[in-house]
Amino acid sequence: MVKYVLKRLLMMIPVVLAVILLLYVLLTLAPGDPARIILGEDAAQELVDAKREELGLNDPILIQYGKYVAGIMTKGDFGNSYSTGKPVANALLERFPTTIGLAVSGLLVMSLIGIPIGIISAVRQYSWIDNISVAVGMIGVSMPNFWLGLVLIMFFSLKLGWLPASGFYGPAYWILPAITVGVNSAATLMRTTRSSMLECVRQDYIRTARAKGQKENVVVMHHALRNALIPIITVLGMQFGILLGGAVVIESIFSIPGLGKYIVDSIQTRDYPVVLGGVVLMAICFSLVNLAVDLLYTAVDPRIKTQFQGKKKRKREVKTG
Amino acid sequence: MRKQDENPAKTINGKEKRKSQFYEIWRRMRKNRMAMIGLIIILLLFLSAVFAGFLAPYGIDDQNTKERFLGPSLQHLFGTDQYGRDIFSRVLYGGRISLTIGLVSTSISGFFGIILGSIAGYYGGRLDNVIMRILDVFMSLPTMLTAIVVSAVLGPGIGNCMLALGIATTPRFARVVRGPILQIRNQEYIEAAHAIDLSTPQIIWKHILPNVLAPIIVQATLYIAGAVIAAAGLSFVGLGVQPPSSEWGAMLSAGRAYIRDCWWIVTFPGIAILLTCFSLNVLGDGLRDALDPRLKN
């Protein structure tokens, strides 16, 4: 198992390097000369040229990229912001926990809503509960979450005055954003849970479990749910990525000082090192989550684990046992 | 010679069979009440966008400073905004932009996705590996982030917004196409097509793609819905279509400042997005059920 994790971590490195290369090249193509952006439109050409040399912008792009990656690897250096001149890394790290916190609380909301309703819906297929949750789930999937955020602000903050509309100072400030990011994903998760559970409850071993007189909730939670978990975990992992990407929009609605808002603001001011650093950080985080999802698969379904064992080991096991 | 032999057979067997297949799908679709509701709603939305010029009581940019911030009434069904523009009319016109973005960006990702996916799936082996690894790199970024980065580079605007969304969803589309092709490329009728010396593009176009059309259509339907939402999101943060335009996301973005007193400014464009995506999602689900051979009696 340790070997498998190491192998997967090693396999992640080229992908992450390629992602950084892709983003680096893309953002280098973006309009505007960085030296001019830093110095302003009126700066003298000599100063701009000197700045270009200082920033290493005259080097071939692959060398620039190499330097950038080396900076990240050795010093955790993501370059300096064009607008403030300060290291991007510090600013990113300051905002990163907020965005992760938002994504995790969104995951919590979605799991708490999505999984139980999905299970009930599947167990009582075609009942009124099922019909309502299927319809509401469909609406939930189709709803743009930033619009839901606006509606929630209108209702709970402005009309009722129960919760703060923007900013990020205490627990009360988390509630609306967490619901906003979570509800949409909850609908997706509910639909997946329902269909995956529906497939499982039709299996023979469920009938067997019932036949031997097992309690209904044990049948549902242990026999059916355990086997229905794989698609549920897949969706959880996928939604985490969607939450990270969606955070960009949600954070700007609620004025949350997170990574997403920082990226959008920096796009507006053409502060590309910040954009690059922020997106790279999110990509690494997303890759790690994907890895975690794959590892969870092996924990949930031991059959998957054997696929990743070396051929020799498998042969040996067949021989001995 | 070969051509002559082939053609009569195709018109008799091929065409008739294809027609009946679609008929069968349509017959199953019709039984699905939700899917039919979705189909009707999306057709109505589509028609109302096309004929916005006739249906809208006011022009798209008709400003009337005397009628600013009016609530919904018979004169202004959805109320008016900060410039006194009729929101109902703007939502109708906005449908043109939002639906176009959805359709065009999905066509872009469909076009490249089908090409990449079918090459990867059909040839397999090393080429498949190269294509899929490159797409993996794109897929290790969340779709919305890719779209944001691409539109940051391209700048705002309708065309760039469509391009950004198309590029961002292409890898996932390619994967949807590749899966079923991998399964059918070893079937006997493909071998038969090889045996009569059809060229590879012919085999892919005439024999493989029609058989993977079902998942492609379903996926495209769902992607249009996703693209409408994503485009609205991009416009909302100022990276997509810019405010004087009546794209639904841009309307939300512009109306956001007034939510304290005028709920209608952001409510109705949002409902338009919701309705569009709801109908497309329901339709996509219905199509999937209708196309799923396991449900066939």
Q: Is pLDDT of B168 > 80?
A: yes
Q: Residue B8's pLDDT is what? A: 46
From A241's Cα to the closest Cα of chain B, the distance in A is 5
Q: How far, in Å, CA of A25 to CA of B226, rounded?
A: 27
**pLDDT top residue among A308 and B44:** B44
Q: Which helix (H) or strand (E) holds A216?
A: helix A216-218
Token pair belonging to B109: 């990702």
Q: Residue B116's pLDDT is what? A: 92
The percent of residues in chain A predicted with pLDDT above 90, rounded, is 3
Average pLDDT over every residue of B75-101: 83
**B259, B189 Cβ separation under 8 angstroms:** no
Nearest-Å Rg of the Cα atoms of chain A is: 25
Average pLDDT over every residue of B152-168: 89
- Quick: pLDDT tens for A20-49: 888 888 888 777 777 777 777 777 778 878
- Contact (CB<8Å) A252/B237: yes
Residues of B in contact with A241 (CB under 8 A): 142
- Contact (CB<8Å) A150/B225: no
Sequence length of chain A is: 321
- Contact (CB<8Å) A150/B270: yes
- Contact (CB<8Å) B281/A138: yes
Q: Is pLDDT of B6 > 60?
A: no
**φ, ψ for residue A277 (rounded to 5)?**
-60, -45
Q: What is the mean pLDDT of chain A?
A: 83
Residue with tokens 């009337």: B64
Query: Closest partner residue to B259 among A158, A244, A290, by Cβ?
Result: A158
- Quick: pLDDT tens for A108-148: 999 999 999 998 888 888 888 888 888 888 888 888 888 98
Residues of B in contact with A286 (CB under 8 A): 140-142
**pLDDT top residue among B251 and B11:** B251
Q: Which of A3-12, A28-37, A248-257, B274-283 has the lowest mean pLDDT?
A: A28-37
**pLDDT top residue among B19 and A273:** A273
Size of interface A-B (CB pairs under 8 A): 122
Does the complex come out with an ipTM higher than 0.90?
A: no
Nearest to A121 by CA among A14, A8, A253, A228: A228
**pLDDT top residue among B292 and B206:** B206
Residues of A in contact with B260 (CB under 8 A): 158
- Quick: pLDDT tens for A213-224: 888 888 888 888
Q: Is pLDDT of B160 > 80?
A: yes
Residues of B in contact with A252 (CB under 8 A): 236-237
- Contact (CB<8Å) A244/B145: yes
- Quick: pLDDT tens for B109-125: 999 999 999 889 888 88
The domains of chain B, with CATH numbers, are: 98-297 (1.10.3720.10)
Q: How far, in Å, CA of A264 to CA of A268, rounded?
A: 6
Average pLDDT over every residue of A220-237: 85
- Contact (CB<8Å) A146/B233: yes
Average pLDDT over every residue of B273-280: 92
- Contact (CB<8Å) B137/A15: yes
Query: Closest partner residue to A144 among B267, B273, B281, by Cβ?
Result: B273
Q: Residue B9's pLDDT is what? A: 46
**pLDDT top residue among B170 and A163:** B170
Nearest-Å Rg of the Cα atoms of chain B is: 23
- Contact (CB<8Å) A147/B273: yes
**B268, B91 Cβ separation under 8 angstroms:** yes
Residues of chain B whose beta carbon is less than 8 angstroms from a beta carbon of chain A are: 34, 136-138, 140-145, 148-150, 152-153, 155, 225, 229, 232-233, 236-239, 249, 252, 256, 259-260, 263, 266-267, 270, 273-274, 277-278, 280-282, 285
Query: Closest partner residue to B259 among A138, A150, A275, by Cβ?
Result: A150
Nearest to B167 by CA among B116, B242, B233: B116
- Quick: pLDDT tens for B199-240: 888 888 888 888 888 888 888 988 999 899 999 988 888 888
Q: Residue A2's pLDDT is what? A: 79
Q: Which residue of B has its CA nearest to A274?
A: B149
Model confidence band, residue B2 (pLDDT cutoffs 50, 70, 90): very low
Q: What is the mean pLDDT of chain B?
A: 83
A131, A249, A294: best to mutate for the B interface, most B CBs within 10 A: A249
Q: Is pLDDT of A187 > 70?
A: yes
Model confidence band, residue B242 (pLDDT cutoffs 50, 70, 90): confident
- Contact (CB<8Å) A286/B141: yes
- Contact (CB<8Å) B252/A282: no
- Contact (CB<8Å) B144/A245: yes
Query: Closest partner residue to B233 among A144, A283, A287, by Cβ?
Result: A144
- Quick: pLDDT tens for A58-87: 778 888 888 888 888 888 788 878 777 788
- Contact (CB<8Å) B236/A146: yes
Average pLDDT over every residue of A152-162: 80
Q: Which of B26-30, B187-191, B277-281 has the lowest mean pLDDT?
A: B26-30
Nearest to A35 by CA among A52, A54, A56: A52
pTM of the model: 0.84
Model confidence band, residue B293 (pLDDT cutoffs 50, 70, 90): low
Residues of A in contact with B285 (CB under 8 A): 138
- Quick: pLDDT tens for A241-269: 888 888 888 888 888 888 888 888 888 88
Q: Residue A308's pLDDT is what? A: 61
Q: How far, in Å, CA of A233 to CA of A229, rounded?
A: 6
Model confidence band, residue A309 (pLDDT cutoffs 50, 70, 90): low
Query: Closest partner residue to B252 among A29, A147, A275, by Cβ?
Result: A147
